[in-house]
Chain A
Amino acid sequence: EVQLVESGGGLVQPGGSLRLSCAASGFTVSSNYMTWVRQAPGKGLEWVSIIYSGSTFYADSVKGRFTISRDNSKNTLYLQMNSLRVEETAVYYCASASNPGAEYLQHWGQGTLVTVSS
Chain B
Amino acid sequence: AIQLTQSPSSLSASVGDRVTVTCRASQGISSALAWYQQKPGKAPKLLIYDASSLESGVPSRFSGSGSGTDFTLTISSLQPEDFAVYYCQQFNSLPFTFGPGTKLDI
Query: Which residues of A does B touch, CB under 8 Å?
Result: 35, 37, 44-47, 50, 57-60, 93, 95, 102-106, 108-111
Contact = CB atoms under 8 A, between A and B. Distances in A.
B82 interface: no
Nearest to B98: A45
Interface of B: 1, 32, 34, 36, 38, 43-46, 49-50, 55, 87, 89, 91, 94-101
B44 A45 contact: yes
Contact of B1 (A37, A60, A106): A60
Contacts, number: 56
B1 to A, nearest CB: 7
B101 A57 contact: no
Contacts of B1: 60
21 contacts: A37-B44, A44-B87, A44-B98, A44-B99, A45-B36, A45-B44, A45-B87, A45-B89, A46-B98, A47-B97, A47-B98, A50-B94, A50-B96, A57-B94, A57-B95, A60-B1, A104-B49, A105-B46, A106-B46, A108-B44, A111-B43
A112 to B, nearest CB: 11
Nearest to B96: A47
Nearest to B87: A45
Contact of B95 (A60, A104, A106, A109): A60
Nearest to B1: A60
Contacts of A103: 32, 91, 96
A104 B44 CA distance: 12
Given A110-B43, A111-B43, A44 B49 contact: no
Given A105-B89, A108-B45, 19 more contacts: A35-B96, A37-B98, A44-B87, A45-B36, A45-B44, A45-B98, A46-B98, A47-B89, A47-B95, A57-B94, A58-B95, A60-B95, A104-B91, A105-B46, A106-B46, A106-B49, A106-B55, A110-B43, A111-B43
A93 B45 CA distance: 12
Contacts of A109: 43
B44 A105 contact: yes
